[in-house]
Amino acid sequence: MFLTKSLVCLAILAIANAQFNTNYAAGRSGMVHLFEWKWDDIAAECENFLGPKGYAGIQVSPVNENAVKDGRPWWERYQPISYKLTTRSGNEQQFASMVRRCNNVGVRTYVDVVFNHMSADGGTYGTGGSTASPSTKSYPAHQHVPEKLPRLYRLPGDRQRSVQHQLFEWKWDDIAAECENFLGPKGYAGIQVSPVNENAVKDGRPWWERYQPISYKLTTRSGNEQQFASMVRRCNNVGVRTYVDVVFNHMSADGGTYGTGGSTASPSTKSYPAVPFSSLDFNPTCGISNYNDANQVRNCELVGLRDLNQGNSYVRDKVVEFLDHLIDLGVAGFRVDAAKHMWPADLGVIYGRLKNLNTGHGFASGSKAYIVQEVIDMGGEAISKSEYTGLGAVTEFRHSDSIGKCFRGKDKLTYMSNWGTGWGFAASDRSLVFVDNHDNQRGHGAGGADVLTYKVPKQYKMASAFMLAHPFGTPRVMSSFSFDDTDQGPPTTDGQNIASPTFNSDKSCGGGWVCEHRWRQIYNMVAFRNAAADAALQNWWSNGSNQVAFSRGNRAFVAFNNDNYDLNSSLQTGLPGGTYCDVISGEKSGSSCTGKSVTVGSDGRANINISSSAADGVVAIHVNAKL
């Protein structure tokens, strides 16, 4: 006992002594407080002044993520959101580099650390993109935020897939067959499906009725729960993951009194007995008229849709129950509709409670759902996508707007040399990118007249090819039904029941279905992206206008001509010498090409010709299309 007490006393004494040792380098004894400097600037100051002048150490401002406050006062640094090392001074890599560079010249670093408290009310989002709810003492950044979002596209044999596909308003049985007959064999990685839960039946059966929930029963015009579960399993069996468009910001608006599963509701009194939800589960009734008021955007009703209160513990329970049920059925993730209209801290709590993915469907143990949030952020509003990127990916509408402008000729293709965050996009692993989606192809959402759709086929195929060839983001291909009226629902057999697509000999669709995913120029670029894998973008070339080309390492090469004159140049492809099939004009068939071929010399160069009048303004080759 005496020995034990002695050792404890010695340990305490050692700790006490350690706390008073400054650890200065020999011969130095002065510390400077560099208040609010950036890490890169401190590193340079250590090397250029502090070290040579004999300073012993620097005290730096708090290094961990803090709440972003109006006016950006100095004291926001003392309101922590998380312990991620991201502040206005820089990120973790910059901080680590600073510490090492200062140590190398004899200047030690002393960090101002804050762990007495977290942020106060109003400190809801942070310098690293995390969110919090100080009013409920919820700081979820360490509960669920992944360093990188899960990539669920690795298949046996390390085949890589990386393209999602939105099968808008298809029936579950038809999707299952499409996975087996086309999507799996063509290398698609995943499908985004329309909302799976019971929705209000609206006059004329418009497409948007799917976004007016009545309950969380899995019964819609696309099919019932058994058909959905079968579809998910059949698609998983051929390597195609399912991502569900989920709607839990709101329930149906007035007039949505009965649903596709036979349930009833009274939106006017906020009563949805099939869940059940009552008026206690909703925010007060108010409309959104000012998008520069974040409270209004998140607490009021979007176009009259009854606005659920995700801060309510019971609402959270019902949402988690719904999403967990889908995870049990084998889905890989979710597109969260109207995420912008929900508080990030509330979403963080919901996401953090979700189950791991179902290992019975081929997911690795511990895998988490891929989450992409619908956040329309074109700038100039109170709500920013950066408030959500700490929680998951976002739908990057700026990509849709910008790629439309470029291929419509409003911006030059040569400007795309820094395509990505240089254009104001979120980080690559936080960006779901697309040319169009079900909203903005109809003029809703963002992009307006600049959005490219199937109705402008040449430019649409070119923009899709660029998106699929470029390594930025997680791409999603649209698959539409044709429409003239922007409210028009999918093709039906009788005005009520969705019709199945028909298929033509060239693999395209009929029966009112557009099926962009079956266009040769698009599905062959999915194969291009899979062949390119993780290879970096190299060998960028431009004529200074609207002719560009680049390679993906030594695995793939693509060229574009959006000028009104021919492209005819010798370009560096990065590929090994040989003859390759152009996968835009045709494809490899045995030992020949059904379209054009491209000969690459031993130096990696090839003569690339694209006429301004060509049906397709693209040439693309890759290692799997080599003869």
> Which of the residues are catalytic?
337, 374
Residue closest to 408 by CA, chosen among 568, 517, 546:
546
Alpha-carbon torsion angle 440, 442, 447, 450, nearest 10:
130
Strand, helix or coil for residue 407? helix
Q: Which two tokens stand for residue 593?
A: 């090409």
In whole angstroms, what is the distance from residue 178 CA to residue 479 CA? 12
d(CA 544, CA 547): 7
What is the C-alpha separation between 429 and 409, in angstroms, rounded?
Answer: 28
State how far the Cα of 443 lies from the Cα of 402, in Å rounded to an integer: 15
User: What are the phi and psi torsion angles at 8 (to 5°)?
Assistant: -60, -45
Bond into 276 cis (ω within 30) = yes
Q: CA 210 to CA 168: how far, in whole Å?
A: 11
In the DSSP assignment, the letter for residue 24 is P
Nearest to 361 by CA among 327, 325, 324: 327
Supply the DSSP string of 372-394, one letter for each residue.
EE-----SSSS--GGGTTTTSEE
Give the Cα separation of 47 and 49 in Å (integer). Answer: 6
C-alpha dihedral sign at 77, 80, 83, 84: negative
DSSP assignment of 36-57 equals T--HHHHHHHIIIIITTTT--E
Nearest CA to 467 out of 377, 546, 558, 588 is that of 558
Beta carbons within 8 Å of 389's beta carbon, 6+ residues apart = 129, 426, 427, 430
Nearest Cα residue to 242 out of 152, 373, 156: 152
Q: Which residues pair with 455 in a beta bridge?
A: none
Cα angle, residue 427 at apex, residues 560 and 523 outer, rounded to 5°: 40
- Beta bridge mates, 589: 592
Gap between the Cα atoms of 515 and 508, Å rounded: 7
Neighbours of 48 (CB within 10 A): 11
Whole-angstrom Cα distance, residue 31 to residue 554?
52
Question: What is the greatest pairwise CA distance in the chain?
Answer: 94
- 545-572 burial string, b = 16+ CB within 10 Å, else e? ebbbbbbbbebbbbbbbbbeeebebebb
Work out whether strand 159-160 and strand 154-155 pair parallel, antiparallel, or are unpaired: antiparallel
